[in-house]
Each structure stands twice: as C-alpha cells, then as structure tokens.
Amino acid sequence: MGGSESTFSAPPPYAYFVNDLMLTVVFVLQVAVAMTALYAFVHAAMQRPDAYTAANKMTKPVWLLILGAAVPLTMLLSALGAAIGACAAGVYLVDVRPKLLEIQGKSR
C-alpha cells in the first residue's frame, strides 16, 4: 500500500515528438501572422489620410493603432494573439486596402 510505485505510466515516446511538433507549428503560424500584420501596418502608414475617409473606412490613425497593436499581441498571446492579429490584418488587407488603392488610382 505505501509503496513508491506510481499508478501512472510514462507517456509513450511519440508524445514528446507530437508536443514539440505542435509548438513548432504554432510558433511558425505566429511569425507568419505577425509578418502579415507588419506588412499591413507599413502599407497603412504609407497611404494618404484622406483616402481612408474617401473610402468610407475608419481613419488612418485608428487603423495604425489596430494594426500596430496586432503585431505584438500576435507574439505575446500565442494562439489567441495570432487569431486577433490575423483578423485585424485580414480585414485591412481584404477590405480596406483594395478600396484605398481604387480611390488613389493605384494598381494592385
């Protein structure tokens, strides 16, 4: 009864590999989302401020704040941060960026 034997067995050897693989995949996704958000931030910073209001979108400082916060959140909050950053960058790149380019007469 009072022996030192544990009732739990050691995890199988592949469990450590799966865990390492999962952590690596999440890290790679975080870096990819952070780089995409950084690209969106730089693109937003290079656009004319009046183009945002002409496109009937939020103002340039608001987008810079959203995208600027998305980059560090992506790296600090793991999967949740990556989801927040992906949403912010995705909305900008899919919705706002094409309208800005169209209004400014630039090609994609």
**Each residue's pLDDT tens digit, 5-23:** 667 787 787 777 888 899 8
pLDDT digits (tens, 9 = 90+) for 59-74: 999 999 999 999 999 9
Residue 78 predicted with pLDDT over 90? no
Across 99-106, average pLDDT = 89
Across 2-7, average pLDDT = 64
Q: For residue 2, what pLDDT band results from cuts at 50, 70 and 90? A: low
Burial class (CB in 10 A: 0-12, 13-18, 19+), 34: buried
pLDDT digits (tens, 9 = 90+) for 30-53: 999 999 999 999 999 999 999 999
- Residue 78 sits at the vertex; the CA angle it makes with 73 and 82, to the nearest 5 degrees, is 60
